[in-house]
């Protein structure tokens, strides 16, 4: 007769209990991925427009300083 250790009994019980939970999590994640495939077009349009607005506002406010920084960087690289 084969003797089993208490640790192996516990591991087996945990494995048997966790497999259905893992499968349920996998199914839920797969279902969520199917819904994410459509994307969020209005959200991405909003992010793009807001980014363009921020870049334009920064350019209007700091045009001279940004031009100076760019010219200094190019001069230091080219020599």
Q: What is the pLDDT of residues 39-61, one digit of tens each?
A: 677 788 888 999 999 999 999 99
pLDDT of residue 24: 72
Q: What is the pLDDT of residue 53?
A: 93
For residue 59, what are the contacts with CB-CB under 8 A and spacing of at least 6? 66
Name the residue with higher pLDDT: 74 or 37.
74
Question: What's this model's pTM, rounded to 2 decimal places?
Answer: 0.42
The mean per-residue pLDDT over the stretch 18-47 comes to 70
Confidence (pLDDT) at 73: 95
Q: What burial letters (b/e) apply to 5-34, b meaning 16+ CB within 10 Å?
A: eeeeeeeeeeeeeeeeeeeeeeeeeeeeee
């Amino acid at each position: 007769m084969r003797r089993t250790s208490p640790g192996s009994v516990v591991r087996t019980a945990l494995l048997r209990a966790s497999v259905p939970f893992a499968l349920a999590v996998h199914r839920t994640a797969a279902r969520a991925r199917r819904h994410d495939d459509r994307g969020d077009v209005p959200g991405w349009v909003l992010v793009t427009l807001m980014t363009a607005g921020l870049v334009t506002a920064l350019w209007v406010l700091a045009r001279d300083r940004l031009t100076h920084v760019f010219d200094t960087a190019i001069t230091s690289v080219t020599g």
